[in-house]
Structure 1
Amino acid sequence: MAKQFPELDTTQRKFIGEQHIFFVGTAAPDGRVNISPKGMDSLRVLGPNRIVWMNLTGSGNETAGHLLETNRMTLMWCSFTTRPLILRTYGTAHTLHVGDNGWDELADMFPDHRSARQIYDLKIDLVQTSCGYAVPFLEYQSDRDTMQKWVDGKSDDDIRAYWVEKNHQTIDGKPTRPAD
């Protein structure tokens, strides 16, 4: 049975810290809903009602485009180990780009990554847990090094050119304003 909370408690924050993957869900008022898996060392819980995560270069940039139109965001974690649990945080998110007020302070919380496009700052207004009884057991082996190898083979100009080519609009054709 799902349970709802106004904020993250200590146990839920610990659970988030133990997970190697999370999922982000966003949607514009019209068009497609996006659900995207995220990993690496890219998320920080800053309090019972605040999470920030650094978004790295990817093949799309749906979250950025959606947040230009509506600031709703859901983050979700699933336990793939012994304790069955699904945890979701619902709220509103603000996008920061390099050079924006607050970028440097938040970026300092993460490992340096040349392909960081945005930082999303989520203000949580609802936390929900559910059972996760049907989620399979999966064993974590390691993070992939594919992203880092891709970045290592590119100059900063190459990365920005990729953003222009691949990340300037959503799959619905809406603008995203990737980092400049």
Structure 2
Amino acid sequence: MGQWFENISQDHAEWIKKQKVFFVATAPLDGRGCVNTSPKGHDCLRVLGPNQVCYLELSGSGIETQSHLEENGRITVMFAAFEGAPRIMRLIGTGRVVRVDSPEFNKLLQEHYQGSDLYDAQGKRSIILADVRKVGTSCGFAVPYYDYKGPRNTLIHYFNKKSDEEVQGYWAAKNKYSLDGLPGMRHEFLGPEWTGKNRGPGEAVVLPVWATSPSGLSKNSILAWIMSGTGLANATILSAGIAIGAGLATLSNKRRH
């Protein structure tokens, strides 16, 4: 039977620490956008308190979680027992990106990751900090058993061979935008176009005007549609619309004559 709690209990925290993998789910505001679910391994998650967790994010080819959190802050972290008693747990709340090399990042790294295998790993990209407002548990009776063999260190080995400049080059090539064209990495040392202020502690998500328009066709809803796509996609659709419109106009004129 499913149960809901207002915070992470000591029993919850102890169970979370035993899990070898968890999943992070985020999504953009646009209902047509890509819902993302990312599996996370290694000893990267920490329970900071009854209503807060964080995890150390390593570099990868996608930037969906960061992009979605910067736009709307929604996040769900899910765990499932693959051994022992069955259980599924979801931590539902809001999250924000703590950028690598920022004072807050360095403080969290020192306090919670010193001595871990990830502390000196190359390619650390951020710490995702989540404020948990709901903890949900359910049976997990249909989750299969799996035997844990050990961590897969391929990603760590891959980035440990790269210099700082090569890692930044990877970010510039792979992490500039989400799949839906939302801004990705925001780091001043990559140049002016990358500069962006991530939300700080206690700072609310401020949605752009186009994202808060009422339902129905309006100036803001049209703008929302434009902003939700990439520049290339919008240009392609607009060009196709102009071409179709021009063709219909030409056909109409020929019929008149």
The verdict on a shared fold, with TM-score over 0.5 as the criterion, is yes
Alignment partner, residue 40 of structure 2: 38
Alignment partner, residue 89 of structure 1: 91
- Give the secondary structure class of the aligned counterpart of 1:102: helix
Using CA pairs under 8 Å that are at least 6 residues apart, name the structure with larger relative contact order, 1 or 2.
1
Q: Higher mean Cα deviation, 128-137 or 94-103? A: 94-103
Q: TM-score, normalised by structure 2?
A: 0.68
Alignment partner, residue 114 of structure 1: 122
Alignment partner, residue 16 of structure 2: 16
Q: Higher mean Cα deviation, 104-113 or 136-145? A: 104-113
Alignment partner, residue 154 of structure 1: 162
Structure whose CA Rg is larger: 2
- Give the secondary structure class of the aligned counterpart of 1:28: coil
Cα distance per residue 1:108-133 (max 9 Å; x no partner):
12222221111111111000000000
- Give the secondary structure class of the aligned counterpart of 2:48: strand
| Ranges in structure 2 where 5+ consecutive residues have no aligned partner | 114-118, 190-257
Alignment partner, residue 132 of structure 2: 124
Cα distance per residue 1:124-144 (max 9 Å; x no partner):
100000000000000000001
| 1:2-13 aligned within 5 A | 2-13=2-13
- Cα shift at 1:177: 2.1
Partner AA of 2:14 in structure 1: K
Q: TM-score, normalised by structure 1?
A: 0.96
Alpha-carbon distance between aligned partners in 2 of 1:43 and 1:178, rounded to the nearest angstrom:
23
Which structure carries more helix by proportion? 2
Q: Is the 8 A contact 1:64 1:178 kept in 2?
A: no
- CA RMSD, Structure 1 to Structure 2 (Å): 1.2
Cα distance change, pair 133–7 in 1 and its aligned pair in 2 (3 A): same
Alpha-carbon distance between aligned partners in 1 of 2:27 and 2:93, rounded to the nearest angstrom:
13
Alpha-carbon distance between aligned partners in 1 of 2:160 and 2:104, rounded to the nearest angstrom:
27
Cα distance per residue 1:23-57 (max 9 Å; x no partner):
00011101111000001121110111010111100
| Ranges in structure 1 where 5+ consecutive residues have no aligned partner | none
| 1:49-88 aligned within 5 A | 49-88=51-90
Partner AA of 1:78 in structure 2: A
Alpha-carbon distance between aligned partners in 2 of 1:143 and 1:85, rounded to the nearest angstrom:
22
- Cα shift at 1:178: 4.6
Partner AA of 1:23 in structure 2: F
Partner AA of 2:9 in structure 1: D
Alpha-carbon distance between aligned partners in 2 of 1:104 and 1:59, rounded to the nearest angstrom:
23
- Cα shift at 1:101: 3.9
Cα distance change, pair 178–37 in 1 and its aligned pair in 2 (3 A): farther
- Give the secondary structure class of the aligned counterpart of 2:15: helix
Q: Establish whether residue 98 from structure 1 lines up as the match of residue 106 from structure 2.
A: no
% identical aligned pairs: 38
